Amino acid sequence: MSEPLRIALAGLGTVGAGTLALLRANAEPIARRAGRPLTVVAASARDRKRKRSVDLRGIDWHDDAAAMASRPGIDVVVELIGGSDGIARRVVETAIEHGKHVVTANKALLAHHGTDLAKRAEAKNVSLGFEAAVAGGIPILKVLREGLAGNQIRRIYGILNGTCNYILTQMRDERRDFADVLADAQRLGYAEADPGFDLDGTDTAHKLALLAAVAFGGAVDLDGIHIEGIRHVSARDIEYAAALGYTIKLLGVARPTDHGLEQRVHPCMVPQAAPIAHVEGVFNAVVVEGDAVGRLMLEGRGAGAEPTASAVVADLVDIAAGRGAPGFGVPASVLHAGKTAAMARHRGAYYMRLMVSDRPGVIADVAAALRDQDVSMEQMLQRGRAAAGEAVPVVITTHETEEAAMLRAVTAIGALATVLEPPCLIRIENL
């Protein structure tokens, strides 16, 4: 058997420790598949004295992770520190500059700097692997680069954040409001103390930027993504969604259009018959639509030590076996920025919930605002009556229309004296 692949681990948190544990637990089958052993020879983390679940004896410790990335005797640096800049970026850039392969789970770093890092890696003839940066243990990037290499991808979409999916699932199943479920998610460790990165769609956008770049062969374009989170989704909206035959999911969606590449992250009304509607709790799923293969869906755990370590080790095995491919599926030299489709040009159907005064003429005024923007109503729900001065919910769904027209109608409706709260608008996704 060939010489070992010598690995340096930068970051020994949940995923770092999980990666080391997996390399040791499955050393024999990993070596057989790679054609040689995979050995961690060096490690670095913020706190050397912290108690860890893995034994670090026999591994050289480095207080400076960037310096470790430049030392001789290392073939690949695994960066598991996190963050779009700072030490994580220095580690990756240093490793590449010194001719080391890089494997990372750092979606933020790649969403902001992925195109530049891919070009640097190509110039140095080293691999940049980041399977673990998108959807945890789901091997979606390998599927796109290799299994679907003969396809034109027509659309890719997915549930890419387990925290949001857990919250929406619990809100539906337990008929509880967002704030209550969020508090429970934080207590159980599914949500951070400051959950904005997840709840506001940023985490999903980072992953979608990478998926879209691999699927469509362009530069990473985080700035081209329309991003909305789930804070405005209420238990009432989830109940109405069910009555209309939908489930609400936070999706990341990318597809080519006549106006350029459309990339968007927002809550969606998903038909209950769609397979992705049944992906529950902290699970992730990605759906790819190819011209030759049709529709594929991959589902699994999108985070955690073992699923993410599985993806890290998969990249390491490819490097050890000499199968290192361009991280984005095409040579970095052709990763050019394409045309971005403005969200205002998006076409789709919409769900709108209004809280209105219960008096004659309200619906006529709302219908007139929609008519003035050439937005056609599909159906309307109004249940019960309200006492004088109290609000009553009215739900409207529309036929397919342009986003800009729908937003103009919403603005006009929100300005009506009889509309007592800002309208809640959720896009309906045709899956």
**pLDDT tens-digit series, residues 106-160:** 999 999 999 999 999 999 999 999 999 999 899 999 999 999 999 999 999 999 9
Question: Is residue 36 left, alpha or beta, with left meaning phi > 0 and alpha meaning psi from -120 to 50?
Answer: beta
Its CATH class, for the domain covering 346-428, is alpha beta
Q: What is the pLDDT of residues 33-65, one digit of tens each?
A: 999 999 999 999 988 878 888 888 889 999 999
Please report the pLDDT score of residue 210 as a whole number. Answer: 97
Q: What is the pLDDT of residues 169-227, one digit of tens each?
A: 999 999 999 999 999 888 888 888 789 999 999 999 999 999 999 999 999 999 999 99
Decide if pLDDT at 238 tops 80.
yes
The CATH homologous superfamily for domain 5-133 is NAD(P)-binding Rossmann-like Domain (3.40.50.720)
**CA dihedral angle for residue 263, residue 269, residue 272, residue 278, rounded to 10 degrees:** 60
Contact, 89 vs 66, CB < 8 A? Answer: no
Catalytic residue positions?
207
Q: What is the pLDDT of residues 385-409, one digit of tens each?
A: 665 557 889 999 999 999 999 999 9
Q: Which residues contact 421 (CB under 8 A, 6 or more apart)?
A: 354, 355, 391
Sequence ranges of the chain with CATH classification 3.40.50.720: 5-133
Fold designation for 140-301:
Dihydrodipicolinate Reductase; domain 2 (3.30.360)
- Give 382's strand partners: 394
Q: What is the pLDDT of residues 186-201, one digit of tens each?
A: 888 888 878 999 999 9
By residue count, the chain amounts to: 431
